[in-house]
């Protein structure tokens, strides 16, 4: 029994499920769908509460309808969410989707700041994610074979391709087919239209640099799909979606699992550690009721951790015993290591005078343009650094925001607001972070969360490769701004984004073929214990420069099939 926790008293008729899934977001939803549809009885534990659209969704609320006119109660955010408020989506409209930092602390060295953005609720962060849905290719899965750095994933693109197809076909992803090896095409719904600025970028950048400028690939519906209506372009996706026109697990995968009659969902269940028989397999998990602090146990024949990369690793590290003194899954001493997060070069842009108008344009779409990775592909090599980066951006004519930057008052100021509406063009570059052993998480032995569970200490920073890549990213951005002939040009910032800011944390329980170099196998199964699986971003070997969520869902669906098959055969 773990030190500091008493064995919970359970009734003699305690239900033993076929599987327990910890986490209800992008990963947990797909595992639940796969397992229940193949006959397994599943208990899903979620650390936070359910969200009610009538109470929690605010995508159609205007600034004048809220107390602080959209600027938020800054004092309250500073007091309860000092870290979460740094995320662009955590504001007066949507702060409910983010954790209370005082209840959910973590630590880091002062010289290595880390920004951990978390959403604990049924659905996890799928209510307020940015919905970018990109397939990885063998540029990611076999990156080590290309440049000699690190380790390959234990499978190739062709092994995951059927599950990319399955996920995209079910959740709905809009996009254009471009035939690029570094960004495989998928099962797309019709793409969204580019804005005027995006179309100009496509023509100018395509002609000058030869790069493809495409509509972003997003999990927003452009047509009716499986009973869900198309997106109506209110362009406030981070606030929830009453029509379920973008993917979130409570609207898409969890209902599919629930329809089988084999899913039991328990919210407000904060999992501490995996219960392990002293000489046998995992028996379930130990959790604390978030609201009552009651300590409980849940039992199952299979345990799946899908709580998000760092949270799943935290549970494994906290699952210590005489048999696993360094935590469950840490026999290789790899658990907690190789943390990655994308870094971005931001803040670049300017105005396109040809699109200035005296009429306010319509609100934008939930996607801008994307320029896929071109550097360190077969067509272009930069030997100053390993791996690569991609760009995204858009042009927009703000409905009201430009007024705040206009100098003046009275009738002359009102005239400017009405007749001098500028058109802004912005662009960002996002780069790949190399997996390094010295970027890691461990348990902080002194600090605990609101439920008495040891918190994580995160030690991570960017290395020479990231800084060398960032220089090339800035140079490319400046050339793009020159080619676009933007006015009042703002160069990209000199500093890299804070580690963790992009909310794409991956690694710390990576997969591989060698148990001495990895934590799980190619099907997300723990080498230390065959009936425990980790299916979220923790298992990533490399990250590429693309958002990880679609790949998380694909590997979760693949792991779900493997679990169901192994369970039927009695191997778990």
Per-residue pLDDT at 305 exceeds 70 = yes
Residue with tokens 């995320």: 87
Reported as a single tens digit per residue, the pLDDT across 369-407 is: 999 999 999 989 999 999 999 999 999 876 566 666 677
Quote the mean pLDDT of the chain.
Answer: 93
Residues 262-281, mean pLDDT to the nearest whole number: 95
Between these two residues, 78 and 134, which has the higher pLDDT value?
A: 134
Tokens at 408, concatenated: 């003046």
Supply angle C-alpha 540, 544, 550, rounded to 5.
Answer: 65
Per-residue pLDDT at 130 exceeds 60 = yes
Reported as a single tens digit per residue, the pLDDT across 40-50 is: 999 999 999 99
**pLDDT recorded at residue 412:** 86
**pLDDT recorded at residue 396:** 84
Q: 10 Å Cβ neighbour count for 234?
A: 15
Residue 362 binned pLDDT confidence (cut-offs 50, 70, 90): low
Tokens at 258, concatenated: 């629930």
CA atoms lying within 13 Å on the CB side of residue 122: 19
Residue 455 DSSP symbol = E
Per-residue pLDDT at 21 exceeds 80 = yes
CA distance 206 to 374: 12
Name which of 379, 59, 78 is nearest 238 in CA terms.
Answer: 59
**pLDDT recorded at residue 404:** 67
CA distance 383 to 189: 37
Residue 191 binned pLDDT confidence (cut-offs 50, 70, 90): very high
Residues 540-553, mean pLDDT to the nearest whole number: 97
Per-residue pLDDT at 1 exceeds 60 = no
- Which percentage of the chain shows pLDDT scores above 70? 94
Reported as a single tens digit per residue, the pLDDT across 345-357 is: 999 999 998 887 7
**pLDDT recorded at residue 363:** 64
Length of the chain: 572
Reported as a single tens digit per residue, the pLDDT across 201-248 is: 999 999 999 999 999 999 999 999 999 999 999 888 999 999 999 999
CA distance 144 to 137: 13
Q: 10 Å Cβ neighbour count for 270?
A: 23
Of 66-70, 313-317, 439-443, least confident by mean pLDDT is 66-70
Q: 10 Å Cβ neighbour count for 455?
A: 18
CA distance 336 to 518: 11
In the chain, what's the furthest Cα-to-Cα distance? 81
For 466, phi and psi rounded to 5 degrees?
A: -65, -40
Torsion angle, alpha carbons of 320, 322, 328, 331, to 10: 130
Per-residue pLDDT at 9 exceeds 90 = no
Q: 10 Å Cβ neighbour count for 70?
A: 15
Name which of 506, 504, 501 is nearest 547 in CA terms.
Answer: 504
Q: Residue 183: beta bridge partners?
A: 180
Tokens at 494, concatenated: 């000199």
Task: Say if residues 104 and 450 touch (Cβ distance below 8 Å).
Answer: yes
Spell out a b/e string for 284-306, using b for 16 or more CB atoms within 10 Å of the CB, else e.
Answer: bbbbbebeeeebbebbbbbbbbb
Tell me the H-state helices in 87-137.
Answer: none
Task: Say if residues 386 and 465 touch (Cβ distance below 8 Å).
Answer: yes
Reported as a single tens digit per residue, the pLDDT across 508-524 is: 999 999 999 999 999 99
CA distance 67 to 57: 16
Per-residue pLDDT at 14 exceeds 60 = yes
Torsion angle, alpha carbons of 35, 36, 40, 45, to 10: 80
CA distance 157 to 142: 9
Residue with tokens 């343009």: 369
């Amino acid at each position: 029994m773990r030190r500091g926790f008493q064995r919970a008293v359970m009734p003699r008729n305690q239900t033993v499920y076929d599987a327990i899934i910890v986490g209800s977001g992008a990963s947990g939803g797909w595992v639940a769908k796969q397992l229940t549809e193949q006959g397994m009885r599943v208990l899903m534990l979620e650390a936070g509460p359910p969200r009610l659209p009538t109470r929690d969704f605010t995508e159609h609320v205007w600034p004048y309808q809220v107390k602080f006119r959209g600027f938020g109660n800054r004092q309250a955010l500073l007091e309860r969410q000092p870290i979460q408020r740094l995320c662009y989506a955590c504001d007066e409209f949507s702060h409910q989707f983010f954790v209370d930092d005082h209840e959910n602390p973590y630590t880091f060295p002062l010289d290595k700041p880390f920004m951990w953005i978390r959403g604990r609720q049924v659905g996890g962060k799928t209510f307020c994610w940015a919905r970018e849905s990109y397939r990885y290719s063998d540029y990611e899965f076999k990156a080590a074979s290309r440049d000699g750095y690190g380790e390959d994933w234990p499978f190739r693109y062709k092994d995951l391709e059927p599950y990319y197809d399955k996920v995209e076909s079910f959740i709905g992803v809009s996009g254009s087919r471009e035939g690029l090896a570094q960004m495989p095409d998928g099962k797309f719904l019709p793409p969204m239209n580019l804005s005027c600025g995006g179309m100009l970028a496509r023509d100018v950048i395509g002609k000058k640099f030869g790069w493809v400028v495409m509509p972003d690939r997003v999990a927003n519906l452009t047509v009716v799909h499986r009973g869900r209506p198309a997106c109506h372009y209110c362009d406030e996706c981070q606030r929830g979606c009453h029509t379920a026109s973008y993917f979130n697990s409570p609207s898409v995968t969890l209902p599919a699992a629930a329809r089988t009659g084999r899913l039991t969902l328990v919210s407000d269940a904060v999992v501490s550690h995996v219960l392990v028989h002293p000489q046998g397999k995992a028996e379930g998990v130990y959790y604390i009721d978030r609201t009552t602090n009651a300590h409980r146990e849940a039992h199952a024949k299979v345990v799946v951790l899908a709580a998000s990369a760092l949270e799943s690793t935290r549970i494994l590290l906290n699952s210590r015993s005489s048999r696993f003194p360094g935590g469950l899954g840490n026999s290789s001493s790899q658990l907690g290591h190789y943390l990655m997060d994308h870094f971005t070069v931001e803040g670049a842009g300017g105005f396109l005078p040809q699109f200035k108008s005296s009429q306010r344009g319509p609100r934008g779409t939930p996607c801008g343009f994307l320029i896929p990775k071109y550097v360190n592909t077969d067509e272009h090599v930069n030997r100053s650094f390993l791996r690569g980066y991609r760009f995204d951006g858009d042009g927009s004519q703000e409905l009201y925001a430009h007024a705040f930057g206009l100098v003046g008052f009275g009738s002359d100021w009102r005239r400017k607001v009405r007749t001098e509406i500028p058109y802004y063009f912005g662009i960002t570059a996002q780069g790949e972070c190399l997996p390094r052993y010295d970027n890691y998480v461990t348990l902080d032995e002194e600090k605990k969360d609101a439920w008495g569970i040891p918190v994580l200490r995160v030690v991570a920073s960017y290395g020479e490769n990231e800084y060398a890549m960032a220089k090339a990213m800035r140079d490319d951005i400046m050339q793009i701004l020159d080619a676009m002939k933007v006015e009042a040009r703002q160069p990209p910032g000199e500093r890299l984004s804070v580690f963790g800011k992009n909310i794409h944390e991956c690694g710390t329980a990576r997969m591989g073929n060698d148990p001495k170099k990895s934590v799980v196998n190619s099907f997300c199964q723990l080498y230390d214990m065959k009936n425990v699986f980790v299916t979220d971003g923790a298992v990533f070997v490399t990250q590429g420069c693309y958002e990880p969520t679609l790949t998380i869902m694909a590997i979760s669906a693949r792991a779900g099939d493997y679990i169901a098959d192994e369970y039927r055969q009695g191997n778990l």
